[in-house]
């Protein structure tokens, strides 16, 4: 294997092997830009090192070859006492990763070559400054010495000399500092600072490899879902010096405004300094435009390169550069990181400049970014008192009084008081409090902690791991430094930034949401005077419009109420993919359902209860169908387990026992208990529900189907265009579907005849949510006009776990252990559940090539899942109204 690539050998497509930094250094070299010569050691070498705990032998020889190449190009040798070549050792993984080893500059300097450097550069001060920097960086990052020891020594020296800036120290001062630093190394490691240049380099390389597995790096990867087995590359790059005097300097810049995408000159420049000074903020930087005055030719050259890079990458880039005695050198570039809002603005800006196509612009933004822009936000203009920071675990903005436990949160919610649940960490017992509170704040745990996973699942705002919080539940206090808060205090948490504020902070709808719900004009009005927000709203509009144009997937919403249906349509839903009917049976209608279930089959009492329910259902459907006029509305026949409609067993048992003991027994209770016991299920999710309940209780589905047909007939008579679809849940066998279908067709025909209207458009289909249904879809298709994959239940039945019992309980550990990267309820398990979906699609179409296929369930609004559904060829996805815009955008991205 080849472990080493000269900068002239690679290109930007080789990020896996060369890391981001190495691949882009190679690309710039290929473009003929002034990159200091160097080479990259591959991630593969790192992986080999980590596996064997030793550097592969062939690496050492390859490094020698590559180094000689660089030396020949430069006409100098590494660490040569008379005229030394110096290099930097720079880490660089595929994804940029804070927490790994930083860069070591000036490798190759030692007690002799420092004199050579001084002589050749004619600048003694510079040479000693470079040497002390080497020992400092090498000591800290390669030898793991506490960095404060070095910076304290530097500060002490400055104090002694009565100066404030490093640049005011003389060559003599720095020479003394080198001795001090060498002393620190000897004292801390028991060994001398290594004088051999190649040893310095090899130790640096190995330190970069090792840093891949430091605790900090591992934590970062877990949080960002970066695989642990990628490894990092190492870049060896000829040193160029920004600290050689006033005609030298170093800087960073963006090819355009990183927030708005407008073109302009954005960046910072620091005279007479080496790279890390800019980032470290040691001295005040100048705006990049100042370079024009300082050195016009260099400025012009840099501007030309910025333009060239942007044209080449066709995106905003960020750049690190250094000027050595009036000569410009490029040290790094990459496609610049950006916020969600900036991503939309930059993409449309580049589109407006015709630098990229519409399809490409769409590819530059994501559904997750759109989601971020839709969450309510703290009013930007409001005054805020920041008291602590944690990790941004689940977005949104929550304000409320502090609640320390379930009881406080639940009690406050009952009184209409908003709370933020504040806990050291959460566990499944905290669920009621999490439901009752506006948001959740924890002192411990990361983005995969229980609090974070559950909050994201519930769409609750969450900030976790705010380690400065000391929570004393018993005392009822949260202490942050000197500040002590109690349940009387109000706090505000920002799930997007992790910020924690004291006091009431006003929350506002985001202008993007206003736009999505009420149109462009309303969105622009909501943006007000704020130019950036206005551009953002217009950008979302433009890209979403393009997504709508190119997408093949249709987007429907899951909605059960007229209000939700209206919202869904406003957000762009083209129909309802799942109207659940359960809630239509709960609440005050529950006694009716109880009566229907418990009365004798075919008794008058049961029929009376059914008739009553049918009347109520018809009214529900009328209202929904009216809102959905002209758009398809899939009504799922009643699905939940029977026990949800029955009194709780234990309560009833207690009541009867007490009644017996005290002689106040109500015989009706006793009769009810017999029934409830008879119907009690060990595993309700796998019990009497869905189509099974429909068959078990004849007349139940019939009343729903009749109510739906009657409602549709009313609307047709009024000249409207209702488009109901009847969906049968939890079907496993074609015979189940056949029975319901026969009954349904009879009802459709009889209502049509009785009312004298055409109901031939009412279709009947099945929900595919059992493995058996997916695997026998070619049979089911004989009896179905459409299928909708219920991927929530399908995930439960394929994995064999019940969502309510697992998600907050052991999923955090499963995610931590890497059993899955993300909950399979959040993003579809492509390999397992996905195979059943694609197999179901294939089998269904083998019988009926044109059968309409949809997906309902949470996955219909998940970006990664949407791409999967696009690829397997379903016709539409259905998701909650709030996710509809995200689904539209991602369906568009999947198609380009």
* Interface contacts to ligand ADP, rule CB under 6 A: 36, 88, 90, 102-103, 105, 237-240, 275-276, 320, 322, 331-332
Least distance from C-beta 585 to Mg ion, angstroms? 16
310 and 255 Cβ atoms separated by less than 8 Å: yes
Least distance from C-beta 340 to ligand ADP, angstroms? 23
Q: For strand 327-335 and strand 499-502, is the pairing parallel, antiparallel, or unpaired?
A: unpaired
Nearer to Mg ion, 272 or 797 (CB): 797
599 and 613 Cβ atoms separated by less than 8 Å: no
Under the phi-then-psi rule, with left for phi > 0, alpha for psi from -120 to 50, and beta for the rest, what region is 622?
Answer: alpha
Query: Measured between alpha carbons, how far is 399 from 490 in angstroms, rounded to an integer?
Result: 7
Partner whose binding site includes residue 239, from ligand ADP, Mg ion, none (CB under 5 to 8 Å by kind): ligand ADP
Partner whose binding site includes residue 139, from ligand ADP, Mg ion, none (CB under 5 to 8 Å by kind): none
Nearer to ligand ADP, 108 or 495 (CB): 108
| Catalytic residue list | 450, 856
Give me 458's structure tokens.
């519930």
Binding segment toward Mg ion, per CB under 5 A, in 549-557, 645-653, 789-797, 864-872: 789-797
Torsion on CA atoms 6, 12, 14, 19, rounded to nearest 10: 80
Residue 332 as a binder of Mg ion (CB under 5 A): the answer is yes
Binding segment toward Mg ion, per CB under 5 A, in 41-49, 478-486, 706-714, 785-793: 785-793
Partner whose binding site includes residue 793, from Mg ion, ligand ADP, none (CB under 5 to 8 Å by kind): Mg ion
Count of Cβ atoms closer than 10 Å to residue 464 Cβ: 29
Residue 796 as a binder of Mg ion (CB under 5 A): the answer is no
Residue 284, C-beta contacts closer than 8 angstroms, at least 6 positions apart: none
Phi first, then psi, for residue 2 (nearest 5°) are -100, 120
Helix, strand, or coil here: 416?
A: coil
Helix, strand, or coil here: 38?
A: strand
Partner whose binding site includes residue 232, from ligand ADP, Mg ion, none (CB under 5 to 8 Å by kind): none
Partner whose binding site includes residue 790, from ligand ADP, Mg ion, none (CB under 5 to 8 Å by kind): Mg ion
Least distance from C-beta 468 to ligand ADP, angstroms? 26
Nearer to Mg ion, 419 or 865 (CB): 865
Nearer to Mg ion, 76 or 636 (CB): 636
Residue 880 as a binder of Mg ion (CB under 5 A): the answer is no
Residue 235 as a binder of Mg ion (CB under 5 A): the answer is no
Least distance from C-beta 398 to Mg ion, angstroms? 31
Nearest to 498 by CA among 425, 548, 447, 453: 447
Count of Cβ atoms closer than 10 Å to residue 683 Cβ: 8
Nearer to ligand ADP, 316 or 331 (CB): 331
Least distance from C-beta 284 to ligand ADP, angstroms? 17
Q: Which residue has the tokens 């420092």?
A: 114
Query: Measured between alpha carbons, how far is 485 from 282 in angstroms, rounded to an integer?
Result: 36
Q: Which residue has the tokens 């493995």?
A: 771
Phi first, then psi, for residue 883 (nearest 5°) are -90, -10
What is the DSSP annotation of 260-328?
T---S-EEEEEES--THHHHHT-SPPEETTHHHHH-HHHHHHHHHHHHHHHHHHTS-EEEEEEEETTEE
Phi first, then psi, for residue 855 (nearest 5°) are -130, 130
Binding segment toward Mg ion, per CB under 5 A, in 326-334, 395-403, 598-606, 811-819: 326-334
Least distance from C-beta 199 to ligand ADP, angstroms? 19
Interface size with Mg ion, residues (CB under 5 A): 5
Binding segment toward Mg ion, per CB under 5 A, in 205-213, 577-585, 661-669, 767-775: 767-775
Nearer to Mg ion, 196 or 582 (CB): 582
Nearer to ligand ADP, 243 or 448 (CB): 243
Nearer to ligand ADP, 250 or 377 (CB): 250
Least distance from C-beta 354 to ligand ADP, angstroms? 32
Nearer to Mg ion, 90 or 606 (CB): 90
Exposure of 818 by Cβ count < 10 A (0-12 exposed, 13-18 middle, 19+ buried)?
Answer: exposed
Least distance from C-beta 91 to ligand ADP, angstroms? 7
Query: Measured between alpha carbons, how far is 599 from 604 in angstroms, rounded to an integer?
Result: 9
Query: Measured between alpha carbons, how far is 365 from 376 in angstroms, rounded to an integer?
Result: 20
Least distance from C-beta 232 to ligand ADP, angstroms? 11
Nearest to 576 by CA among 864, 860, 890: 860
Partner whose binding site includes residue 134, from Mg ion, ligand ADP, none (CB under 5 to 8 Å by kind): none
CA dist list (Å): 503 to 398, 414, 489, 570, 678: 11, 22, 7, 34, 54
Nearer to ligand ADP, 35 or 841 (CB): 35
Partner whose binding site includes residue 36, from ligand ADP, Mg ion, none (CB under 5 to 8 Å by kind): ligand ADP
Helix ranges (DSSP H) in 194-266:
197-211, 215-224
Least distance from C-beta 619 to Mg ion, angstroms? 25
Give strand pairing partners of 471: 478
Binding segment toward Mg ion, per CB under 5 A, in 50-58, 309-317, 587-595, 793-801: 793-801
Task: Give, as one character, the DSSP assignment of residue 644.
Answer: G
Least distance from C-beta 197 to ligand ADP, angstroms? 15
Nearest to 580 by CA among 854, 767, 743, 777: 767
Query: Could you say which of 268, 541, 793, 875 contacts Mg ion (CB under 5 A)?
Result: 793
Exposure of 647 by Cβ count < 10 A (0-12 exposed, 13-18 middle, 19+ buried)?
Answer: middle
Nearer to ligand ADP, 209 or 378 (CB): 209
Residue 790 as a binder of Mg ion (CB under 5 A): the answer is yes
Partner whose binding site includes residue 240, from Mg ion, ligand ADP, none (CB under 5 to 8 Å by kind): ligand ADP
Count of Cβ atoms closer than 10 Å to residue 305 Cβ: 21
Residue 581, CA atoms < 13 Å, CB-side half-sphere: 27
Nearer to ligand ADP, 275 or 699 (CB): 275
Least distance from C-beta 92 to ligand ADP, angstroms? 7
459 and 439 Cβ atoms separated by less than 8 Å: no
Least distance from C-beta 565 to ligand ADP, angstroms? 51
Query: Measured between alpha carbons, how far is 737 from 691 in angstroms, rounded to an integer?
Result: 8
Exposure of 281 by Cβ count < 10 A (0-12 exposed, 13-18 middle, 19+ buried)?
Answer: exposed
Helix, strand, or coil here: 258?
A: coil
Nearer to ligand ADP, 127 or 766 (CB): 127
Residues that bind Mg ion (CB under 5 A): 320, 332, 769, 790, 793
């Amino acid at each position: 294997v080849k472990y080493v690539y000269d900068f002239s050998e690679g290109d930007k497509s080789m990020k896996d092997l060369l890391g981001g930094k190495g691949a882009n250094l190679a690309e710039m070299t290929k473009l003929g830009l002034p990159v200091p010569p160097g080479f990259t050691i591959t991630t593969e070498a790192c992986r080999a090192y980590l596996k064997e705990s030793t550097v592969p032998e062939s690496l050492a020889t390859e490094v020698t070859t590559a180094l000689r190449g660089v030396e020949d190009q430069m006409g100098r040798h590494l660490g040569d006492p008379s005229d030394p070549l110096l290099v930097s050792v720079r880490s660089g993984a595929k994804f940029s990763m804070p927490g790994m080893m930083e860069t070591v500059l000036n490798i190759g300097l030692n007690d002799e070559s420092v004199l050579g450097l001084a002589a050749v550069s004619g600048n003694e001060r510079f040479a000693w400054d470079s040497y002390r920097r080497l020992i400092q960086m090498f000591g800290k990052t390669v030898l793991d010495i506490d960095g404060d020891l070095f910076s304290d020594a530097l500060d002490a020296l400055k104090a002694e000399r009565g100066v404030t800036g490093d640049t005011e120290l003389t060559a003599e001062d720095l020479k003394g500092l080198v001795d001090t630093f060498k002393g620190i190394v000897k004292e801390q490691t028991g060994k001398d600072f290594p004088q051999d240049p190649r040893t310095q380099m090899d130790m640096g390389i190995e330190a970069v490899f090792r840093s891949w597995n430091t605790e900090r790096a591992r934590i970062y990867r877990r949080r960002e879902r970066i695989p642990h087995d990628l490894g990092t590359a190492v870049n060896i790059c000829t040193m160029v010096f920004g600290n050689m005097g006033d005609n030298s300097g170093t800087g960073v810049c963006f090819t355009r405004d990183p927030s708005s995408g407008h073109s302009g000159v954005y960046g910072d420049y620091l005279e007479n300094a080496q790279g890390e000074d800019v980032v470290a903020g040691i001295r005040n930087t100048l705006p990049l435009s100042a370079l024009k005055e300082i050195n016009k030719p260099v400025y012009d050259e840099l501007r030309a390169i910025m333009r060239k890079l942007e044209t080449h990458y066709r995106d905003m880039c960020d750049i690190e550069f250094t000027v050595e005695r009036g000569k410009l050198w490029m040290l790094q570039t990459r496609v610049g990181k950006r916020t969600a809002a900036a991503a939309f603005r930059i993409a449309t800006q580049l589109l407006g400049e015709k630098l990229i196509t519409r399809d490409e612009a769409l590819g530059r933004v994501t559904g997750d970014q759109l989601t971020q822009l839709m969450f309510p936000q703290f009013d930007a203009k409001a005054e805020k008192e920041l008291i602590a920071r944690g990790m941004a675990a689940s977005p949104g903005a929550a304000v409320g009084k502090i609640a320390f436990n379930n009881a406080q949160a639940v009690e406050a919610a009952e009184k209409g008081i908003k709370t933020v649940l504040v806990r050291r960490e959460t566990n499944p017992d905290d669920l009621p409090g999490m439901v009752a509170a506006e948001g959740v704040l924890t002192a411990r745990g990361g983005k995969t902690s229980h609090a974070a996973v559950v909050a994201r699942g519930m769409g609750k705002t969450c900030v976790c791991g705010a380690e400065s919080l000391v929570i004393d539940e018993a005392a009822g206090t949260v202490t942050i430094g000197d500040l002590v808060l109690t349940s009387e205090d109000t706090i505000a948490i920002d799930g997007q930034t992790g910020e924690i504020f004291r006091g009431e902070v006003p929350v506002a709808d985001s202008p993007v949401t206003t736009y999505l719900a009420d149109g462009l004009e309303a969105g622009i009005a909501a943006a007000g005077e704020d130019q950036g927000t206005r551009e953002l709203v217009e950008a979302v509009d433009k890209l979403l419009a393009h997504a709508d144009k190119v997408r093949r997937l249709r987007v429907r919403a899951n909605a059960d109420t007229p209000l939700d249906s209206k919202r869904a349509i406003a957000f762009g839903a083209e129909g309802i993919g799942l109207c659940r009917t359960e809630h239509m049976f709960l609440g005050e209608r529950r006694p009716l359902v109880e009566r229907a279930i418990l009365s004798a089959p075919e008794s008058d009492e049961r029929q009376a209860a059914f008739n009553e329910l049918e009347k109520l259902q018809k009214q529900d459907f009328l209202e929904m169908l009216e809102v959905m006029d002209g758009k398809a509305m899939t009504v799922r026949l009643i699905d939940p387990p029977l026990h949800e409609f029955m009194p709780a067993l234990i309560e009833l048992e207690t009541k009867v026992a007490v009644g017996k003991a005290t002689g106040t027994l109500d015989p009706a209770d006793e009769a009810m208990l017999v029934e409830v016991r008879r119907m009690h299920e060990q595993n309700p999710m796998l019990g009497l529900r869905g189509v099974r309940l429909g068959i078990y209780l004849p007349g139940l589905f019939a009343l729903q189907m009749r109510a739906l047909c009657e409602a549709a007939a009313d609307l047709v008579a009024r000249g409207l265009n209702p488009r109901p679809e009847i969906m049968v849940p939890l079907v496993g066998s074609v015979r189940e579907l056949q029975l319901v279908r026969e009954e349904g067709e009879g009802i459709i025909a009889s209502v049509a005849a009785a009312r004298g209207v055409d109901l031939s458009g009412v279709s009947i289909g099945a929900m595919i949510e059992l493995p058996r249904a997916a695997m026998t879809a070619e049979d089911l298709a004989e009896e179905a006009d459409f299928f909708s994959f219920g991927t929530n239940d399908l995930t439960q039945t394929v994995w064999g776990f019940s969502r309510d019992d697992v998600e907050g309980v052991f999923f955090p550990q499963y995610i931590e252990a890497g059993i899955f990267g993300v909950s399979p309820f959040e993003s579809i398990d492509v390999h397992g559940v996905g195979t059943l979906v694609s197999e179901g699609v294939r089998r269904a179409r083998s019988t009926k090539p044109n059968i309409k296929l949809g997906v309902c369930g949470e996955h219909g609004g998940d970006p990664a899942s949407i791409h999967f559904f696009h690829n397997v060829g379903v016709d539409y996805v259905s998701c909650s109204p709030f996710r509809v815009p995200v689904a539209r955008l991602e369906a568009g991205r999947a198609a380009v």
